[in-house]
Structure 1
Amino acid sequence: MIATLQINDVSKTFNNENEKVHVLDNINLSVKNGDFLSVIGPSGCGKSTLLKLIAGLDLDYEGNIVVGSQEVNGPSKERGFIFQEHRLFPWLTVEKNIAGNLSLKDSDTRKKVDDLISLVNLKGFEKAYPRQLSGGMSQRVAIARALLRNPEILLLDEPFGALDAFTRSHLQEALIDIWGKNKTTMVLVTHDIDEAIFLSSRVIVMDAKPGRIKANVTIDLPYPRRRTSKSFQEFRTVILNHLDHKAEDAEDWSI
């Protein structure tokens, strides 16, 4: 498969007033077309920073990042970004939030928006405003909005972190369904070990201070996955071991 994302020798340093903070160190990573990659690691390991570099939101780093055939030199419609907060426009309806600056009077846009509303299971809520939606529904709108322009890669920065456990589990299943139907390459940053295993074809485990790739774990479990299965628990143990956490000492992790 063609690599949708190629990260080559990427390092990142923040210059604070009194010191330099080395956040990322020599990151090398290749993500194939249609892959679902999760990045997990302790706080401060540079997970979200790496996602912002891929998105082109920060260009002050060493090395280079290529998406498709183009080196990243700024934000692009080829890279959709989902934040932890949905960031919908409160004065726009669901369908208009998804359409953004595109006109719903255009037949092609209208069809794409309608198809995406069906894809994220929001039929009947086209005319609803964000204040009328639950947190999980709002995140579905955000996902649909990011998919409208058919990005080569969808970047997700802990998109379910602020949701209750039931809604988070429901949206994880919805995201797998969207990924299975759309085959968009996805890169997810998460603190949740179970979420990473449940969703991903591959999990990157990072070390902190500075952030380095510690392990690259292929999750070769068939979909749909059961969190209670023996094989699922074995992958959880593998990742915890890479994180240098014993299972009984894992309070800092969502497991």
Structure 2
Amino acid sequence: MSVLDIQSLTKDFGPQTVLQGLNLHVAEGEFVSLLGPSGSGKSTVFHLIGGLLQPNHGTIYLDGENINGQTGSISYMPQSPSLFPWRTIIENVILGAELFGKPDKEKAKQMLQRAGLGDYIDAYPAELSGGMRQRAAFVRSLLSPQSFICLDEPFSALDEFTRVDMQKWLLSIWEEERPSVLFVTHNIEEAIFLSDRILVLSEKPANVMEEINVTFDRPRSEDVMLTNDFIAMKKQIYQTLRGE
């Protein structure tokens, strides 16, 4: 299990400051969502954690190690599944482990079975629906040797019903594996349904303007979205984002 600790993170792009003095923490086995308006720097945070960008100031620690500018420390799932079309589904999902010389095809087969993809192990991405490709991409992130996962709006391109199904599936798999997750979204309901904690980002230069503990019992069903407490939390976050 991993612990992420970001301290006083600042990132400039030329004259524009995107993040300023950002602090956040993700504990072992915790599911934390970053919620903010479009363009608030959510994906920039991921690029910094993943070592694709260097911060101007501040430090990113993973399990106590400074990983500023260091690639390969986390497992990352982008908005699109990013599956290689010339590799079969099983070849795609073991890719991350393969890069580190640790592919385990038997475990991959078991995970694909749990993901409802057991009949598609030897299929190619073009033969799968969008939701199925997203499930394969998430299995790949779980099979990667890194124990910290960053999920960057992975369901944003899906229709509403498929999206809810994917959220429920993600929670069912996460409940069993319990990796540490930092999840980026701009969907308030999604953040509440999935998370242990929600960090609400301000407009640029972004900082955490509110931290919300989500106390609904796990495992969660979609029925919780219809409760008064859920609706009240959604309203609270909406007002925070609107600056009310």
TM-score, normalised by the number of residues in structure 2:
0.92
Task: Name the residue aligned to 2:144.
Answer: 149
SS at 1:231 equivalent: helix
The separation in 1 between residues aligned to 2:45 and 2:114, in whole angstroms, is 29
Task: Name the residue aligned to 1:75.
Answer: 71
Query: Cα gap change, 1:236/1:33 in structure 2, threshold over 3 Å: closer, same or farther?
Result: same
Residue 149 (structure 1) shift:
2.2
SS at 1:143 equivalent: helix
RMSD, aligned α-carbons: 1.9
Residue 114 (structure 1) shift:
1.4
SS at 2:236 equivalent: helix
Query: Cα gap change, 1:34/1:101 in structure 2, threshold over 3 Å: closer, same or farther?
Result: closer
The separation in 2 between residues aligned to 1:30 and 1:208, in whole angstroms, is 20
Percent identity between matched residues is 34
Residue 69 (structure 1) shift:
2.7
TM-score, normalised by the number of residues in structure 1:
0.88
SS at 1:23 equivalent: strand
Letter in 2 for 1:9: S
Task: Name the residue aligned to 1:240.
Answer: 238
Letter in 2 for 1:228: L
- Asked whether the equivalents of residues 29 and 178 of structure 2 are also in contact (C-alpha less than 8 Å), the reply is yes
The separation in 2 between residues aligned to 1:110 and 1:159, in whole angstroms, is 24
- Asked whether the equivalents of residues 94 and 104 of structure 2 are also in contact (C-alpha less than 8 Å), the reply is yes
Query: Cα gap change, 1:205/1:174 in structure 2, threshold over 3 Å: closer, same or farther?
Result: same
Choose the corresponding residue for 2:90, options 84, 92, 95. Answer: 95
The separation in 1 between residues aligned to 2:115 and 2:48, in whole angstroms, is 27
Residue 146 (structure 1) shift:
1.3
Task: Name the residue aligned to 2:175.
Answer: 180
Letter in 2 for 1:35: E
SS at 1:227 equivalent: helix
Q: Does 1:28 align with 2:40?
A: no
Letter in 2 for 1:13: D
The separation in 2 between residues aligned to 1:107 and 1:231, in whole angstroms, is 44
Query: Cα gap change, 1:170/1:64 in structure 2, threshold over 3 Å: closer, same or farther?
Result: same
Residue 102 (structure 1) shift:
5.9
Task: Name the residue aligned to 2:12.
Answer: 13
- Asked whether the equivalents of residues 39 and 47 of structure 1 are also in contact (C-alpha less than 8 Å), the reply is yes
Residues paired across the two proteins, number: 238
Q: Which runs of 5+ in 2 are unaligned?
A: none
Task: Name the residue aligned to 1:228.
Answer: 226
SS at 2:81 equivalent: coil
The separation in 2 between residues aligned to 1:100 and 1:83, in whole angstroms, is 15
Give the 5 Å matches for 1:208-223.
208-223=203-218
Residue 150 (structure 1) shift:
3.6
Letter in 2 for 1:24: L
The separation in 1 between residues aligned to 2:213 and 2:178, in whole angstroms, is 18
Residues 109-163 of structure 1, C-alpha deviations (whole Å, 9 max, x = no match): 1222112212322111101110100001001111111111242211011100011
SS at 2:12 equivalent: strand
Letter in 2 for 1:75: T
SS at 1:139 equivalent: helix
Structure with more of its chain in helix, by fraction: 2
- Asked whether the equivalents of residues 3 and 30 of structure 1 are also in contact (C-alpha less than 8 Å), the reply is no
Task: Name the residue aligned to 1:198.
Answer: 193
SS at 1:243 equivalent: helix
The separation in 2 between residues aligned to 1:39 and 1:201, in whole angstroms, is 11
The separation in 2 between residues aligned to 1:33 and 1:50, in whole angstroms, is 19
- Asked whether the equivalents of residues 68 and 152 of structure 1 are also in contact (C-alpha less than 8 Å), the reply is no
